[in-house]
Amino acid sequence: MKNRSRSSGRWLAEHEQDAFVRRARAEGWRSRAVFKLMDIQRRERILRPGMTCIDLGASPGGWSQYASTIIGARGRIIALDILPMEPLARVQFILGDLHEPESLEALKRALGGAPAELVLSDMAPNISGIAAVDQPRAMELTELARDLAYEVLEPGGSLLLKAFQGAGFQELVRSLRTGFGTLKTRKPPASRPRSNEVYLLARNYRMV
């Protein structure tokens, strides 16, 4: 317990000193993760006015908050998380778990039979620090996001997916190359260097 307390204390101290945390607070963003999406948007232009977007692992809402400034009132953002999220203008939030069929059905109902143009996933498991436990959990979440994208994306749509390099990563990459026309790997500056997280940007969905 003492070791866990020391570890938590170190994490909190580092978090408070983090430049992206301070910037997010100063600029009114809900999380530092917004700067990861900002960097990818600047390079790739995946968000467009008027589009329909799904945001998985959305809470506390940084990605949806930023996406709504680009998508605007003519578009739609449907966000989902197992944790509650404070309301955001022009964002429809679903409290749910993609492991549960009910959550998938709720997303489909929210779409109203229409396809999405973009699926975003910043989902990650609670980290135990044990790689043999954490990596399979992380891969399961990436596979859930990928499978959802296969169900709801329109032809030519895109998926931006947080993934963790390790066991199962190359298999995930191969499956995305089958389902999409192009695949890029991105490591935004806001992604902590010691983390093995990367973002996979799959574009031009081919209706597998």
Which residues does the annotation mark as catalytic? 162
CA distance 137 to 190: 23
CB of 184 within 8 A of CB of 155? no
Which residue type does 142 have?
T
**CB neighbourhood size of 113 (10 A):** 6
Helix (H, G, I), strand (E, B) or coil at 97: coil
Of 79, 80, 119, 114, residue with least CA distance to 99: 80
CB of 143 within 8 A of CB of 172? yes
Alpha-carbon distances of 56 from 23, 98, 100, rounded to whole Å:
24, 9, 14
Looking from the CA of 75 toward its CB, the CA atoms found within 13 Å total: 21
Output the 3-class SS for 37-81.
HHHHHHHHCCCCCCCEEEEECCCCCHHHHHHHHHHCCCCEEEEEE
